[in-house]
Each structure stands twice: as C-alpha cells, then as structure tokens.
Structure 1
Amino acid sequence: MGSPGVELGFAEEAAAWRLGREQFPCKVGGRPAWLGEAGLPGPAELRCGVCGQPCAFLLQLYAPLLDRPDAFHRSLFLFGCRRPSCYRLAGPAPGCLKVLRNQLPRKNDTYSYDPPPEEPPVEPPLPCGNLQLKCGAKLCRVCGCLAPKRCSKCHSAHYCSQDHQIKDWKAGHKVSCSQPDALNSVIPDHNFLFPEYEIVREPEEIDALNINETEQEDLDKNKAASTDETFDSVDENFLEAMAKHETQDDKIFQKFKERISLDPEQIIRYCRDGEGPLWISGENIPQETDIPDCLCGAKRIFEFQVMPQLLNHLKVDSIEESIDWGTLAIYTCAKSCNMSSHYVEEFIWKQDISSSV
C-alpha cells in the first residue's frame, strides 16, 4: 500500500456558524473551537516560553483517525506568541509556538452521535456563547482559553490572566462592567486575536507538476564552474565545500518553489505518516534523533506543516520586526495515544528561509 497523498489547506472566508465547535472546524485565527471539554490547557501551558506573555490561537485542524474508535474526533491546535522578537530562533519550537492534540470517541458527553447539521442555526449564537462550555468552564473574553480569573466587581467577565483582564478593561469593560446586557452581547476588539478564516482542504494534484531536473542540474554545474573561475585564488577545499552547500541549498529551495507553484495560496500541507515536510532550505533540517518521543514512549511522526503564505492572512507585517517563518513542521505521536482525554502537547520544528536563497 502506498503512502497517503498530500492534502493542501487554503484560507477562505466563512460564515461564523461554520467555525463553531459543533462543526468540528479546520480554521485560522479567532478563538479556538475546543474539541474536548476535559483537560483544557491552563494559562501556564499557553504562555510563551520566551517572553512569558499569553500565546494567541493560530489555527486548528480536524484530523480524525477513522481506524481508531478512540480518535473518531481528533483535532490539533497551534498557538503562537504575538511578539515578533520571540521568533528569532529556529529549530525545535523556541517556546513561542505550541501545538496540542485532543481526541474523543464518537459516543461522548459533548457532541451528538450523528454528523453536524449542514444548515445554519435559526438563531445565531451571541459572542458570549463561545465563552462558556457545556461543562460550565469559563473562557477568557480576550483569547478564548481557559479562564480561572474573573472580574472582582461584576463576577461575570472571565480571564486567563491579569494581562488579558487589563486589555479588556481598557477596551471597554471599564464601562460595561456595570451593564450586564452590554457584557453579554458585545465583546470588543482587543487587537489580540488573529483574523479568522476557514481552512478548506483538497488533494494535491502532483501529476500536473513539471519539474525539469535536467535543466536544474545544468544550472547547478554552471554555478559551480563560475564559482571556481572567479575565486581560483581562494583555498580549493573551501570553495568546493561552499559550492556544494550552495548548490544543495538552492536545489532544495528550487524544489520548494516548483512544488507549490501550482497552488501558491496553500497555507497547510497535511500528510500524516506519509510524505515528509517540504523543506524550504537545506539548512536546519532535523535528524530523526532531533524529534523527541511522545510522553507515552511512542515515536513522533510528521503530520502537517504550516506554509509561509499563512503569514499574509495573519496581517503581521510590520515596518520593524514581524512574526516570520519559512515553514513549521508538526510531529505527533505515532500511536495518537489517548492521555485520559486531556490535551497533549506535541512537537514543532521551525525552519527559516536560508540567507543564501
């Protein structure tokens, strides 16, 4: 049996109801549509390991395992810091990025046994409806994560941290605190969440790719020859090593460009335990030993990668420093272990664009 094919993900505008929890969405930005209600990550688990500030929800993928009854529903959640300076390091996720996995059997206490409805609800839910789970757990008004803190005055607004309580106070809770109706119907823009989109997935059509490897080899040979002629006075061993490195790096980058050329808007490449990541550079590619095993003892395998195109949708461009990556490769437990229905942290490898390309 061959390896599974690659599924591409694209960001598209969607009606708010399609991104609700009961639809098991794949989505970018906004607040997380939590899958299971048990074992939600606490504020300490979703703080940036570099600056200590709360991370923002980046995206989630619905990725069920059809041959696993305990993973009939399964989602992966990616969070990232809002501070660009925290993204400077490459390699193992430097603390500014976190990925969590959660899964449920088909029969559970939260969702219907039947598939979700295809039609929108008669009455759209209020914004505050997203801030309390069926089990009664409260979610932060700013980020939508577990909120152990609450306003000491109205006792109705809940927060994950003092940082977000201050944000909400400045954004309007100072006024709405004494107005319950306003509190329940309007949530201000705190300038913290990323723009929200649905992720639409479709198979990659690799038959349409036209990669001229012979032409690329000729270009590589010409580049190496040119390098030798220009710098013939420099140590030959150094030149040979430099040319070899540049050729390999250019070849990987060229493969990256050609592979995505037919679908340049792709933001996700999904292929659990099949084709590995499409690297953007020859530098900083992890070895098998660089990927830590799961806490259950099983190896982690590649599941999906986040492409640099997503950054355009996040609106993070800045005149100064911006959030940036070449690609993010996410590795998850090969057994997709069920850790008492809790949210399990998985592994991210961040690769930046090489300075030589």
Structure 2
Amino acid sequence: MASPAQESTLIGLCDGAVDPKRHQSSFLTNKVGGQPDWQPVLRRQFPRCARCGAPLAHVVQVYCPLEASPYHRNLHLFACSGADCSGRSESWKALRSQCLESEVEPSKVAPAQEASLSASDWCDSADDWGAEEGGDGWGGVKPNRRVEDEPPAEDPAHSDMDVGSRLQVLRLGEPLMDTSLLRSFFISVLDESDLLGEGYDLDHAQELLREYESREGVTVGELNSKEGSGGEEKYEKTRAKHGDAVFSRFMKNISLCPQQILRYCRGGKPLFISEPPSNMAQVVSACASCGGSRTFELQLMPALVSLLQRTDGSAQLEFGTVLVYTCAQSCWKEGSASAVEEVCLVQTDPDQQLFK
C-alpha cells in the first residue's frame, strides 16, 4: 500500500464526444453524461432524488479498479437537475459496483475506444484498499445498502449528434419517462505531476492565472518550470477580495490546469472550495454495508458545470465541487446485483462566474 505522500493525483479532462454511431461504450469507459453502462451482473438502477423524488441524471461514470483486487470496479455519480436541488448533497448519489472477471463475458464488453481511458489508467496510482482474503472474508458483513431497482428498460433511441459542438442526444432509460440525458463525452486523464512536463501549455496556464489574479486581487505567484524546481509553485499567501482563504488555496492548486473536470486520488486529500463542515465525521458516515470507515476517492470540479446540460440546453447543474467518499475496504458481497451507495459532499462555488 502506498503512503499518502507517495500518492499522485490524476486529473480528468473533457475529450471527444461520445458518438453512438462510432462508439459502443461499456463499463470500462470513463465518461461524462449519457446513459450509465452497468456491469453485466447488475440490474439497471434508476436512483431518485432524496429531496424531491425526481429521477436523477447520470453525471459521471468512472472505471476505477483497485490494485491487487480481483474485481472490476465502477463509480457512477447521479444528480438532480432541479433548480433547488443540484447544489445539495442529498440530491446527489454515488453508486459503487463491482464484479469478478469470471462474471464478465468478453463478447459483451466493448473494445477500448479511441478517445477513452485504458482500463488501468485510473488504478495505476490507486491504493490497494479492496483485497479480501479467503472465501469467508464476508462473514459478519451487513447486507448491501441497495438503491431503487426497476425492471430493465428498452434500449433508448439515439438522435443525430452535432459533432462540432460535442453533444450527444439520448433519452433517460427509465420506463414511461421522457427525460433527456446529459450530453456525453469521454474523459481523458493525465497525472498532475506531469503538468510542468513537456507538451503542456504553460503559457496558457500563466495567462489564466494572471486573469484570476486581476479579478480577485490575489497574488498566487508565477508558475515555476525551471529545471530542478521539482515542479513546485511559488506561492505568496494573500487574501482574495472576498476574504476566502480556502477558495484562494483551491484556485492556487488548480491554476496549472483550470479546465480540469475531475480529480482522482483514492486515500488522498480533497481540495475543499470552502470551509468543510464541522461535523465531517457525521457527513462522511461509516459504510452502510460493512460498518467500516470511508476514504476520499474523487471530486468533480467547477469547470464541469458548464458542460452538464441536457440536449435542449436546459437544466444545467450548479455546484462548486462534489467530493466522493467510498468504503475504505471497498467491501462487496459476491453475487450482489445492486450497487452500493457511497457518500457525496457538495460544496457551492463562492465565485461561480469564474468558470462560465
């Protein structure tokens, strides 16, 4: 198991649109929006908003197996697009699903797509939190917390897609519901430590950083790419005009790549956009399946907000960052056909207009 100091953070970026005429996605695909691709052993699941009861839109799908674990592993994030709901933690759901390699028929798994991540990209730096020993390793485990299950729906019909605007037109696969899905695109990935390496547009990053400093009256400092600097940034601690030191630190950390839409670092430290709640122990509760602790795994970033639109351009979601905490042991009951619900913590953006 790697120590926290050795962990690297992986950054997700918007890549090509998911074109149903060219791509056949599967649970191995990392993507935003569209229809969720469930593992073949799972029943289709249609979570609803705990606040208003409306069906949730699929926001992000990540394939994230753990090293030394025999399981395929996915996280699906869903959110309510209601105007009064999207910025609330109770209106989001994170569902974790797992299955063994032996439970997957190779003929039913779509091949790797040209714009998507390889199956190992998300797990190269992930800690081994999920290895279980022996066939009786599930003794004493509480039943999985199940989300609302419904009978499988007919495959939705896809409409034409405007490739130039990177949009995908889909229908939400819930019976008797005529609800559009969010526009869909692949997620590409890079290691945060490589941002100062060859091929990254440092001049563009400097320009974005200067624009932020001018707007906010805060000095973050020049990005240092000189050889031998270790890729670190110079940072002058100055309060922003709105006086939010937490937000200033958040902006400093993402200044090399403001267009990042997702950060992945299982067992690492999240980037809070505002002060975390004082009752974090209650917010990040114990795993409902095994009673064990949860650990930070990934977060959605502000740059994703403007991309999350329905096919008619309406019902845009609003958030600052969405932090996802998952079972530290990644517990799973073999033979389960329902995903396990994890914890989402939504923080609003104190300066949302910066990302429009």
Normalized against structure 2, the TM-score is what? 0.64
Q: How does 1:27-38 map to 2 (within 5 A)?
A: 27-38=31-42
Does residue 100 of the first structure (1) align with residue 103 of the second (2)? Answer: no
Q: Tell me the distance in 1 between the aligned counterparts of 2:326 and 2:298.
A: 9
Describe the SS at the equivalent of 2:246: helix
Q: 1:143 to 1:327 in 2, by over 3 A?
A: farther
Q: Which residue of 2 aligns with 1:327?
A: 321
1:83-162 matched pairs, under 5 angstroms:
83-89=82-88, 93-94=89-90, 96-111=91-106, 117-118=111-112, 138-140=152-154, 160-162=174-176
Q: Cα 1:286–1:306, aligned 2, differ >3 Å: closer, same or farther?
A: farther
Q: Does 1:290 align with 2:258?
A: no
Instruction: Tell me if 1:193 matches 2:181.
Output: yes
Matched to 1:20, the amino acid is: S
Please, which runs of 5 or more residues in structure 2 have no aligned partner?
Answer: 115-150, 159-171, 197-222, 225-232
Distance in structure 2 (CA, Å) of the matches to 1:193 and 1:85: 19
The answer on 1:204 being equivalent to 2:192 is yes
Matched, 1:10 2:16: no
Question: CA 1:88 to 1:139, structure 2 compared with 1: closer, same or farther past 3 Å?
Answer: same
Change (3 A) 1:260 1:109: closer
State the alpha-carbon separation in 2 of the partners of residues 119 and 315 from structure 1. 23
Does the aligned pair in 2 maintain the 1:85–1:321 contact within 8 Å? no
**Aligned 8 A contact 1:10 1:199 in 2:** yes
Root mean square deviation of aligned Cα = 3.6
CA distance, structure 2, for counterparts of residue 68 and residue 263 of structure 1: 31
Please report how far the alpha carbon of residue 194 of structure 1 lies from its aligned counterpart in structure 2 after TM superposition. 0.6
What letter is aligned with 2:14? A
| Maintained 8 Å contact 2:306/2:316 | no
CA contact (8 A) 2:10 2:190 kept: yes
Secondary structure of the structure 1 residue equivalent to 2:42: coil
**Who is 2:302 aligned against?**
308
Is the partner of 2:66 in helix, strand or coil? coil
Aligned to 2:30: 26
Conserved? CA contact 1:11–1:197, under 8 Å: yes
Following superposition, the deviation at residue 282 of structure 1 comes to 2.3
- Whether contact under 8 Å (1:7, 1:269) holds in the other structure is yes
Counting only pairs closer than 5 Å after superposition, residues 170-189 of structure 1 correspond to structure 2 as none
How far apart in 1 are the matches of 2:332 and 2:194? 34
Matched residue, 1:57: 58
CA spacing shift, 1:6–1:285, aligned 2, 3 Å: farther
Paired-residue identity, %: 31
Per-residue deviation, 1:302: 0.4
| Greater fraction of residues in helix | 1
1:143–1:193 Cα contact (<8 Å) kept = no
Residues 1:55 and 1:117: Cα distance change in structure 2 (over 3 Å):
closer
1:159 Cα deviation (Å)? Answer: 6.3
Cα distance 1:161–1:119, how it changes in 2: closer, same or farther (>3 A)? closer
Indicate if the aligned counterparts of 2:77 and 2:95 stay in contact, CA closer than 8 A. Answer: yes
Matches within 5 A, 1:211-226: 211-213=233-235, 215-216=236-237, 219-220=238-239
What is the match of residue 343 of structure 1?
339
198-207 or 329-338: bigger deviation:
198-207
Unaligned 5+ runs, structure 1: 121-136, 145-157, 168-189, 224-245
Corresponding residue SS for 2:78: strand
TM-score (normalizing by structure 1): 0.64
**Counterpart in 2 of 1:256?**
250
Per-residue CA shift, 1:308-348, capped at 9, x if unaligned? Answer: 11111113799998521110000011111113333111110
Change (3 A) 1:27 1:20: same
Matched, 1:281 2:280: no
C-alpha displacement at 1:56, in angstroms? 1.2
Matched positions, count:
263
